[in-house]
Amino acid sequence: MRANPHLRVRRRCRPWEALLAAVTEQLIEFERAVAIQRRLIARLGPRCPHSGLRDLPGPEVIAAQAPAWLASIDLAPKRAIALRRCALEVAAGRVDLDAHDVRRLLAISEIGAWTVEILGLYGQGRMDVVPAGDLGFLKLVGRIRTGNPRARVEEPEVREFFEPYGEWKGLAGEYLRAAYASGLAGDVSSARRRPGPAPRRAGTRWSAPVPRSAAA
């Protein structure tokens, strides 16, 4: 913290953007998820009349799409259905993404703890949550706990690791990532996510999110 006192969690401008990103990033490589997000922006996103750039489409737009169309841009069929159902709930006002009640989201198939924790941390600014199922944390906590650079732990062990940080779990997670990325915690070559097939975990977020306004 002394070395990087200004580190903050990189927030999305709107909670919906964080939820859309979380659903598209489930169980696939981050780079592939970014490509899906860019296709959504290019084909459905509103265009700024001044800059010509497009933004992420809102929930009403996603709710109007057929799951088959969403699958056609490389979103897994189950994730396509889940994304549309999330959009329907938000567009209809049954889910308020500015509130912390995510029970209706968790009732949707394919939406689990990792997804709503990504929403809470990056979309709602909740520092008291950490996406414990994140592949990066499974590896990093495994290395810290065992000293083995190839070790991984299970999600409950990640939650136990961050429990002492209380209402600042999310920020503690960002400092842990930054420490390993900068080499402050030693060699992390085998602890970082690399391109390639990702293990079937709750989520595989590691890199920074795609910029809010991406060129069409």
Residue 136 placed within a domain:
no
The pLDDT value given to residue 76: 97
Residue 104 placed within a domain:
yes
Give me the number of domains the chain comprises. Answer: 1
Range of the domain at 23: 15-123
Residue 212 placed within a domain:
no
The pLDDT value given to residue 191: 36
Residue 177 placed within a domain:
no
Decide if 121 contacts 29 (C-beta within 8 A). no
The pLDDT value given to residue 100: 87
- Residue 102 sits in a domain whose CATH number is 1.10.340.30
Residue 188 placed within a domain:
no
Residue 173 placed within a domain:
no
Q: Average pLDDT of each block of 10 consecutive residues along the chain (216 residues)?
A: 89 96 94 96 95 95 97 97 98 94 95 97 96 94 91 96 97 93 60 34 44 37
Residue 175 placed within a domain:
no
Residue 8 placed within a domain:
no
